[in-house]
Amino acid sequence: MINRLLKEMTLREKVGQLNQKLYGWDVFEKNNGKVILTETFKKEVERWDGLGFIYGVFRADPWSMMDFNHGLTKEESWSLSHDIQNYLKENTRLGIPVLLSEECPHGHQGLYSTSFPVNYSVGASWNPTLYQKAQAIVANEIRMTGAHIGLISTLDVSRDPRWGRTEECFSEDAYLTGRFTKAALRGLQGDISERLGPDKVLATLKHFAGQGATYGGHNAGPTGIGNRELYEIHLLPMKYAIEENVRLTMAAYNDIDGIPCHGNEKLLNSMLRDRLGYEGAVMSDGVALERLVSLVDGNRELAAAWALKSGVDISLWDNVFTYLEGAIEKKYLEMESLDQAVLRVLKLKEKLGLFDPPTTKITGYDIQESREINKQLAQESMVLLKNENNILPIDVNKIKKIAVMGPNADAPYNQLGDYTPYKEDETVSTILQGINTHLKDSPVEVLYAKGSMISFGSKELIEQAKEIAEQADFVILALGGASARDFSTKFDENGAALSGSSEMTSGENIDLADIELPPCQKELVNEIYKINKNIIVALIQGRPHIINEVESKIKGLFNLGYPGEMGGIAFAELLFGEVSPSGKLAMSIPLSNGSLPVYYNYKDNHHKYAYIDQEERYAYPFGYGLTYSKFELRDVKVSDKIIEEKYQVEITGQLANIGEFDAHEVVQVYIRAHHLKVIPRVKELKGFKKLFVPKGKQVSFSIILSEQELSGLDENLEERRYSKIKVIVECQETIIEENLKFN
């Protein structure tokens, strides 16, 4: 059908299928409670006699200016989506339906949607299966609006935490990032071998490629990576995504060796499509194609042709692909190339069943189950970094008063991250609310004082905090950063914050030269320590912050990331021992700014690792995380075998809980690989398993490394199986190593 349709299309209609010029919130307006289509929308339809995509019709945040007064309920959204499709059917020659795309980096960015932990938190859960369940809920919520596509960051591997978008990254490790990318696709798309399910969406994976490695952590900045680093680190998540039938990806703002990703034929065609086997479409990032125009002396037709021939199929908000007609007429571009891009778009619409009769409305999901999944994901993402003298968990029977303070103790949006919709207050459980809820039937009195803001403080705030600290048995300090946008935020044309509020220290375009905990927060810790030594800190943040100056004054330390709307009650259950912490760092926490960039899997070329003035680089390394219990590995065996002419390595053994608490623990498997003439990395994560073990019990585990995990790039950048490896199996303090040599 779609091949026939393509033959019937005019040049103007084809170009319209590749343009995504409209901001979705300009498509409708609400008058006296009635939602109507705007003239802006109708003129854009008339301009192209059809539309390929519309972005963000249901988005609600300070940039779109859609709030509870102006935005849409789920019922209004569903009705509007049908009005949009009916208008296209009745007012265009071919009646081709439009694809509606929505942001969903940690939940749909629309009103009345669920906000889950951000990727920076999720990676620390080391539980892709649980994350998959969360993404299935996200897909359902998007389809309830009538939209079809979910834009989600999964491909960026964080190599420098100064980058403001670190919160959108699962990890500094490509393998762990890849595992969560697969989980995201399974949850959002399900099995798409035929048609997409009625409660599923097509995922658009962001960003391809290398954006997590820009110089100095500058957003959209230049990168300094070679082909080996590109292949081994930044293309690996996409390799895993292709295994899960990804059909849409978004190009990255940055360059690769001076060539912008949006105009990089080697990256998008030779590498992505030819070498990796990607068969889907490529969407541009917001107004990114405008950046190509200046590189071709302002010639928009030439810039449009350059991007499309390089592998970009779909624009986003720019005024560049609008010049594709001229590019064809001036012979900058062949019709065959244009048709190929249009065909990719039509295939997406076919995959979603948009040419079939309209589907019935999605009925939704179990709200209570959703909240439980959300809470569990938040809980498993929380990393216990320090537990001096086993101060945790707190026994409520042995205390009378507990003080809760800090800028993030009772600030709902501060724990939700960037790309968050407006929320109803009652949907978010803050740290203070979570503790109050947990202790509501207890005689323990909960005291609260703010203590400081994120970036500034005052003597009055500190005095209020000291007053309650003096009365309390324990002080819970919620510190860190915030990505909360507000109406004082000034936005670029692509939605990135040009300048955030004084409290915004993370998020898109909010890069930091100094990732130390802000001085006002360090002062708060120091002042409270003079009065009360039982300090427990919860770091709510979108990147690893350096806490070295005050770490010695903290007896209990958690990294929560941005834990989502169930974060408060999830944390309270950990704090008081209802469950044991099980998170492991997916990004290293550096010891100082001078350590940056810092990641665990560096190349071991016999360089001097330490500085003259600093022996260590990490405060806490990748993979680190405590529980309330103790574990050990037993009877670990490493064996290799050949199955259907492919090598596998199997690691088996027992994980024993020798402590006093039921708990989860992660068995981590690394390798140190060897290729002749290629410098190896110190170690590389290649497998893991998260297991629940009751106290006093042990469970068996088996982790298999496939030929893909046992292969790497030789000196010619050709993929080959390693000649020999060292297998490293880790669990808490236990490390077991074994060498293997392959034939």
Higher pLDDT among residues 312 and 32, named by residue? 312
Instruction: Note whether 667 and 655 are within 8 A (CB).
Output: yes
Q: What is the pLDDT of residue 675?
A: 85
647 CB neighbour count, 10 Å cutoff: 19
Q: What is the pLDDT of residue 498?
A: 65
Alpha-carbon distance of 181 to 159, in angstroms, equals 17
Q: Which amino acid would we find at residue 302?
A: L
C-alpha dihedral, 203 to 205 to 206 to 211, nearest 10°: 170
In the numeric block, which tokens belong to residue 75? 């019922």
Give the torsion sign (CA, 694, 697, 700, 701): positive
Instruction: Compute CA 415 distance to the chain's CA centroid, rounded to the nearest angstrom.
Output: 15
Q: What is the pLDDT of residue 251?
A: 98
Residue 359's pLDDT band, with cuts at 50, 70 and 90, is: confident
Helix (H) or strand (E) holding 291: helix 290-293
Alpha-carbon distance of 609 to 725, in angstroms, equals 22
Q: What is the pLDDT of residue 361?
A: 79
Q: What is the pLDDT of residue 622?
A: 98
Query: Rounded to a whole number, what is the largest CA-CA distance in the chain?
Result: 81
Instruction: Compute CA 512 distance to the chain's CA centroid, rounded to the nearest angstrom.
Output: 19
Alpha-carbon distance of 405 to 479, in angstroms, equals 9
**Span 111-138, mean pLDDT?**
98
Any idea what the Cα angle at residue 617 is, between residues 616 and 619, rounded to 5°?
90
Q: What is the pLDDT of residue 495?
A: 72
For residue 490, pLDDT over 70 is answered with: no
Residue 492's pLDDT band, with cuts at 50, 70 and 90, is: confident
Alpha-carbon distance of 566 to 431, in angstroms, equals 9
Instruction: Compute CA 492 distance to the chain's CA centroid, rounded to the nearest angstrom.
Output: 21
Instruction: Compute CA 252 distance to the chain's CA centroid, rounded to the nearest angstrom.
Output: 15
| Closest by Cα among 246, 542, 147, 540 to 382 | 540
Alpha-carbon distance of 478 to 476, in angstroms, equals 7
| Closest by Cα among 596, 586, 492 to 118 | 586
Give per-residue pLDDT as tens, 648-666. Answer: 999 999 999 999 999 999 9
Any idea what the Cα angle at residue 324 is, between residues 321 and 329, rounded to 5°?
165
Any idea what the Cα angle at residue 121 is, between residues 255 and 474, rounded to 5°?
140
In the numeric block, which tokens belong to residue 375? 């809470």
Read off the DSSP letter of residue 358.
P
Give the torsion sign (CA, 388, 591, 610, 384): positive
Of 67-71, 248-252, 371-375, the poorest mean pLDDT is in 67-71
Q: What is the pLDDT of residue 500?
A: 56
Q: What percent of the chain has pLDDT over 90?
A: 91
- Ramachandran angles phi, psi of 489, nearest 5°: -70, 135
Alpha-carbon distance of 422 to 691, in angstroms, equals 36
C-alpha to C-alpha distances, 18 to 262, 308, 411, nearest whole angstrom: 15, 10, 41
Q: What is the pLDDT of residue 616?
A: 86
Give per-residue pLDDT as tens, 142-167. Answer: 999 999 999 999 999 999 999 999 99
DSSP SS3 for 189:
helix
Contacts of 554 (CB under 8 A, 6+ apart): 386, 525, 535, 536, 537, 547
364 CB neighbour count, 10 Å cutoff: 14
Give per-residue pLDDT as tens, 396-437. Answer: 999 999 999 999 999 999 999 999 999 998 999 999 999 999
In the numeric block, which tokens belong to residue 296? 């071709």
Alpha-carbon distance of 17 to 6, in angstroms, equals 11
For residue 489, pLDDT over 80 is answered with: no
Alpha-carbon distance of 367 to 583, in angstroms, equals 25
**Span 344-351, mean pLDDT?**
97
For residue 30, pLDDT over 60 is answered with: yes
Q: What percent of the chain has pLDDT over 70?
A: 98
Residue 209: asked if its preceding bond is cis (omega within 30°), the reply is yes
Burial class (CB in 10 A: 0-12, 13-18, 19+), 297: exposed
| Angle of the 567-575 helix axis to the 431-438 helix axis, nearest 10 | 50
Instruction: Note whether 429 and 437 are within 8 A (CB).
Output: yes
Average pLDDT, the chain: 95
Alpha-carbon distance of 283 to 280, in angstroms, equals 10
End-to-end CA distance of the chain: 51
Instruction: Compute CA 298 distance to the chain's CA centroid, rounded to the nearest angstrom.
Output: 35
Give per-residue pLDDT as tens, 54-113. Answer: 999 999 999 999 999 999 999 999 999 999 999 999 999 999 999 999 999 999 999 999
Q: What is the pLDDT of residue 487?
A: 58
In the numeric block, the tokens 């350059």 are attached to 306
DSSP SS3 for 405:
strand
- What b/e string do you get for 109-130 counting C-beta neighbours within 10 Å, with b at 16 or more? bbbbbbbbbbbbbbbbbbbbeb
Contacts of 356 (CB under 8 A, 6+ apart): none
Q: Which amino acid would we find at residue 556?
A: G
Beta strands 497-499 and 248-251 are unpaired
For residue 531, pLDDT over 70 is answered with: yes
**Which strands sit side by side in the sheet containing 631-643, from one edge to the other?**
631-643, 646-657, 698-705
| Angle of the 128-145 helix axis to the 174-189 helix axis, nearest 10 | 40
Q: What is the pLDDT of residue 213?
A: 96
Alpha-carbon distance of 292 to 279, in angstroms, equals 25
Alpha-carbon distance of 161 to 283, in angstroms, equals 26
For residue 488, pLDDT over 70 is answered with: no
For residue 381, pLDDT over 70 is answered with: yes
Residues paired with 590 in a beta bridge:
618
HEC profile of 299-333: CHHHHHHHHHHHCCCECCCCCCHHHHHHHHHCCCC
